[in-house]
């Protein structure tokens, strides 16, 4: 990293701030000598103090030193220290008072050396320095950086003392050591006091120019440059340095927690979550502390339904979800209702335990702390702390956590958003569009899938099966669509053949070429072949003949005469430029089917929105030559599992009413279609519930189980059903056929028909017919009713309004 330095003369230089490994090795280059002279001088000052008590103590200390001259020599030998250890304690009492001896972390060593000759018991326990004159592990910087720091510290003193350059080098040293009792990490800031160090020059130091000083300040990590311009041999350091270690665990851990919680995957990653737990243990000095986080994106009272276990949670664990049907009246309920922190010293003695407290006790947690978390003044989740030791977490030590509550809340908010994005991505990948009524189930499966992957487990999306749901099916089909489409194709082919025949005949009249006469004959044969209908392959064969035998001759034929050129131009004008053949009647037919489908779909979607508000259900519709739809309703499809037969009867009546509306709109649309189309309608009734399964490979729901497949087969065949003993199709334009197999189904629908007849929706005529057996299906019957079109004027007005407004319907599963 580089930094621009602007000195007092306005010079700008680029400064390298990288503490790289120096190339000069790791041996401190300056000579250092242990001397107590600066401290003895301080005692002499005290001896001259006006205070009699202070001066008397100092004179006594100086008198003792006279008896130990080895301690007052310019250079003190380590043997002298060992010999006069008791006197040394008294000598250093000015720096390390006896009153604090057992409670502080302090030591003294020769200048810039890491071999303390005097240390408090606490400092020795830290095991900060080794017997080789270096730092032990646990320092926040590398040995090379520490070595560079010692050099720069020495040089900054030299620059101030001899070159009048005000500069100071300070780098915060943080040492981490395990607590002797808990084994948890404690963090200590190391302060080095050089007040008792004197610099002595050896010879006359080399003067430095302003350019050289700027060069040094711009390259603090280039020790070879420093050694060259200020040779270490020119200076010596005499005296001693004092080390003080201050416990900064709370500040360091809180700072680290804040930094961690701002990381993107702070609480999602298993490793990072574990790291947060370890730091909270260090902060509270509780080695058995457990962390839990619960994100709650919805209402507080929906913790069980919508709560998200983030990393780990006590209340949202699998055990709690399985064993606790409700969280009501639990300590969690209390936290959320009163929006207040709760601390239970010992769950074993809690007076009113619910299943929640009992289940948490079974997880080995006796002491528990729960705090509500808020984001932008909205409840977002819970912070849980637990311990197997009663009283580990209390109101005093947990007070430290208050400043990180907002950061935990931000982390939960971010993780919920990220989790939602990941869930959406999984659903999109595995399932494509999902109907809103069952989205909750897919989100639950996607969430479980992501949690398993986060735990390092092999995971696929779990099967999604809805048991005991009631099916409803309806179809509004364009009557005779296949015949109408074939007729349109035949008419387009006929037109194209006639245009081609006119060209070939005119060309033959201009030039009597036998080949042209043969082409005219073949065109006539093709016209006769399709005159009364199309057989398989007729369309493809005819178009291929026209391209290969006729159209490829146009380049030559257009030179026969201007009139022939005009006929060829007319042929080409009649051809659709994208498709390459005449596409008029087919286009009108397809446009009419599309217009009719869009009108019906817009109406169904609008009605569906109202029906979903009555009771959630799965709905899907498909467009082909008409519109068919499927409905599934039942307890399994709703998240709370509550369902009543009332809603089944309601959705059946709604479906019948909706089909009447479809029939009316189809009839009203007919006059404005390019090709008038009739529609026939049917409803399939089944009283027996079935199971549906989501097929991940096909990305759609399908019935589950061999027995239930019969229902799917029936849906595909019933529109071709005939009335028994006749050749009459059951489905007829303007009528709705209700197919059933059990008398009670007919009885139920007769009640709905009676009601709708009274409302003027259906005519009074009701047919009850038996159906011819279909392959694999026997005994089916049907009620057939006529839709009342007397209010056609109102329906027509509605259709025209929908065309003008181009109403967009709610999104539903559609194919």
Same domain membership, residue 594 and residue 541: no
Give me the domain span that covers residue 596. Answer: 588-814
- Is the pLDDT higher at 435 or at 474? 474
Residues in a beta bridge with 13? 5
Kindly tell me if the per-residue pLDDT of 791 is higher than 60.
no
Kindly tell me if the per-residue pLDDT of 17 is higher than 60.
no
pLDDT of residue 176: 87
Same domain membership, residue 255 and residue 223: no
Q: What CATH number should be reported for the domain holding residue 314? A: 3.30.450.40
Same domain membership, residue 375 and residue 293: yes
pLDDT of residue 178: 86
Highest averaged pLDDT of the listed ranges 141-150, 297-306, 659-668: 659-668
* Domain C-terminal end among 412, 434, 453: 412
Kindly tell me if the per-residue pLDDT of 166 is higher than 50.
yes
- Residue 101: DSSP 8-state: T
pLDDT of residue 233: 93
Asked whether residue 773 is assigned to any structural domain, the reply reads: yes
Cα–Cα distance between 326 and 320 in angstroms, integer? Answer: 10
Same domain membership, residue 161 and residue 241: yes
Same domain membership, residue 627 and residue 546: no
pLDDT of residue 326: 77
| pLDDT confidence band for 59 (50 / 70 / 90) | very high
pLDDT of residue 812: 36
Same domain membership, residue 256 and residue 377: yes
Same domain membership, residue 542 and residue 593: no
Residues 198-212 have pLDDT tens digits of 999 998 888 999 999
- CB-side neighbour CA atoms (13 Å) of 123: 26
Same domain membership, residue 299 and residue 184: no
Asked whether residue 40 is assigned to any structural domain, the reply reads: yes
What sections of 511-561 are H helices per DSSP?
A: 514-529, 538-545, 554-557
Kindly tell me if the per-residue pLDDT of 448 is higher than 60.
yes
Computed over every residue of the chain, the mean pLDDT equals 86
Same domain membership, residue 378 and residue 283: yes
Beta strand ranges found along 634-780 (DSSP E): 679-685, 690-695, 700-704, 735-740, 762-770
Residues 97-120 have pLDDT tens digits of 888 898 899 999 999 998 899 999
Same domain membership, residue 641 and residue 574: no
516, 556 in Cβ contact below 8 A? Answer: no
Asked whether residue 82 is assigned to any structural domain, the reply reads: yes
* Domain C-terminal end among 412, 442, 459: 412
* Domain C-terminal end among 247, 281, 303: 247
Residues 743-774 have pLDDT tens digits of 999 999 999 999 999 999 999 999 999 999 88
Kindly tell me if the per-residue pLDDT of 811 is higher than 80.
no
pLDDT of residue 793: 54
Asked whether residue 429 is assigned to any structural domain, the reply reads: no
Asked whether residue 654 is assigned to any structural domain, the reply reads: yes
Residue range 383-397: mean pLDDT, rounded:
93
For residue 575, give Cα distances in angstroms to 495, 584, 585. Answer: 10, 9, 12
pLDDT of residue 175: 87
Same domain membership, residue 735 and residue 610: yes
Number of domains comprising the chain: 4
Same domain membership, residue 731 and residue 774: yes
| pLDDT confidence band for 13 (50 / 70 / 90) | very low
795, 664 in Cβ contact below 8 A? Answer: yes
**Sign of torsion over alpha carbons 313, 314, 319, 324:** negative
Asked whether residue 461 is assigned to any structural domain, the reply reads: no
In terms of C-beta density within 10 A (0-12 exposed, 13-18 middle, 19 or more buried), how is residue 368 classed? buried
What is the strand order of the sheet 105-109 is part of? 118-119, 105-109, 241-247, 185-193, 173-178
Asked whether residue 354 is assigned to any structural domain, the reply reads: yes
Residue range 645-668: mean pLDDT, rounded:
96
Percent of the chain with pLDDT over 90: 54
Asked whether residue 436 is assigned to any structural domain, the reply reads: no
Residue range 559-575: mean pLDDT, rounded:
92
């Amino acid at each position: 990293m580089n930094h621009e330095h602007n000195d007092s003369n306005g010079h700008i230089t680029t400064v390298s701030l990288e503490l790289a490994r120096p190339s000069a090795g790791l041996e401190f280059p300056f000579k250092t000598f242990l001397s107590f002279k600066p401290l003895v001088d301080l005692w002499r000052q005290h001896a001259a103090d006006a205070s009699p008590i202070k001066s008397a103590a100092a004179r006594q200390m100086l008198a003792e030193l006279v008896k130990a001259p080895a301690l007052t020599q310019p250079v003190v030998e380590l043997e002298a220290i060992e010999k006069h250890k008791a006197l040394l304690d008294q000598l250093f009492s000015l720096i390390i008072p006896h009153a604090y001896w057992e409670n502080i972390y302090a030591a003294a060593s020769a200048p810039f050396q890491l071999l303390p000759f005097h240390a408090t018991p606490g400092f020795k326990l830290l095991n900060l320095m080794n017997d080789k004159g270096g730092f032990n592990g646990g320092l926040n910087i590398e040995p090379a950086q520490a070595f560079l720091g010692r050099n720069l510290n020495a040089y900054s003193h030299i620059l101030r003392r001899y070159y009048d350059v005000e500069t100071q080098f300070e780098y915060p040293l943080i040492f981490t050591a395990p607590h002797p009792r808990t084994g948890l990490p404690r963090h200590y800031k190391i302060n080095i006091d050089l007040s008792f160090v004197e610099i002595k020059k050896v010879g006359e130091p080399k003067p430095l120019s302003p350019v050289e000083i700027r060069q040094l300040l711009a390259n603090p990590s280039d020790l070879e440059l420093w050694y060259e311009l200020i040779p270490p041999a020119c200076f010596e350091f005499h005296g001693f340095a004092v080390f003080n270690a201050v416990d900064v665990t709370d500040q360091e851990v809180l700072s680290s927690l804040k930094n961690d919680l701002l990381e993107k995957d702070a609480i999602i990653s298993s490793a990072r979550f574990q790291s947060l737990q370890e730091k909270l243990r260090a902060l509270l000095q509780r080695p058995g502390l457990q962390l839990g986080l619960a994100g709650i994106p919805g209402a507080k009272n929906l913790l069980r339904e919508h709560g998200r276990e983030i990393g780990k949670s006590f209340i949202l664990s699998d055990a709690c979800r399985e064993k606790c049907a409700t969280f009501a009246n639990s300590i969690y309920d209390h936290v959320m209702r009163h929006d207040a922190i709760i601390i239970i010293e010992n769950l074993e003695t809690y007076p009113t335990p619910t299943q929640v407290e009992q289940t948490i006790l079974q997880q080995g947690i006796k002491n528990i702390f729960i705090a509500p978390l808020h984001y932008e003044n909205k409840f977002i989740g819970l912070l849980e702390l637990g311990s197997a030791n009663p009283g580990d977490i209390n109101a005093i030590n947990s007070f430290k956590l208050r400043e990180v509550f907002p950061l935990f809340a931000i982390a939960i908010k971010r993780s919920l958003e990220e989790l939602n994005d990941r869930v959406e991505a999984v659903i999109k990948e595995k399932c494509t569009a999902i109907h809103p009524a069952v989205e909750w189930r897919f989100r639950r499966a996607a969430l479980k899938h992501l949690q398993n992957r986060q735990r390092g487990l092999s995971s696929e999306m779990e099967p999604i099966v809805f048991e005991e749901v009631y099916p409803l099916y309806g179809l509004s089909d364009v009557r005779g669509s296949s015949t109408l489409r074939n007729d349109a194709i035949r008419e387009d082919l006929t037109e194209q053949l006639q245009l081609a025949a006119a060209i070939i005949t005119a060309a033959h009249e201009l030039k009597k070429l036998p080949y042209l006469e043969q082409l005219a004959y073949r065109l006539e044969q093709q016209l006769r072949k399709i005159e009364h209908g199309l057989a398989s392959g007729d369309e493809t064969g005819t178009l291929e003949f026209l391209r290969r035998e006729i159209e490829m001759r146009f380049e030559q034929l257009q030179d026969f005469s201007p009139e022939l050129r005009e006929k060829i131009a007319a042929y080409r004008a009649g051809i659709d430029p994208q498709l390459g053949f005449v596409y008029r009647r087919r286009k009108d037919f397809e446009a009419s089917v599309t217009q009719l489908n869009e009108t019906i779909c817009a109406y169904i979607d609008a009605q569906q929105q109202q029906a979903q508000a009555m009771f959630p259900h799965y709905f899907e519709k498909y467009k082909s030559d008409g519109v068919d739809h499927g409905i599934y309703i039942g307890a399994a499809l709703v998240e709370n599992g509550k369902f009543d037969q009332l809603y089944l009867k309601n959705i059946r009546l709604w479906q019948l009413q909706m089909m009447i509306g479809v029939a009316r709109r189809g009839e009203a649309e007919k006059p404005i279609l390019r090709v008038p189309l009739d529609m026939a309608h049917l409803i399939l009734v089944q009283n027996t519930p079935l199971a549906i399964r989501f097929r991940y490979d096909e990305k759609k729901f399908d019935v589950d189980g061999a027995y239930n497949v019969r229902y799917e087969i029936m849906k595909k065949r019933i529109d071709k059903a005939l009335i028994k003993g006749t050749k009459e199709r059951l489905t007829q334009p303007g009528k709705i056929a209700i197919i059933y197999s059990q008398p009670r189904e007919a009885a139920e629908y007769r009640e709905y028909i009676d009601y709708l007849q009274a409302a003027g929706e259906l005519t009074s005529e009701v047919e009850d017919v038996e159906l011819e057996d279909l392959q694999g299906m026997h005994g089916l019957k049907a009620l057939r009713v006529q839709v009342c079109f007397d209010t056609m004027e109102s329906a027509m007005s509605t259709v025209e309004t929908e065309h003008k407004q181009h109403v967009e319907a709610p999104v539903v599963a559609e194919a």
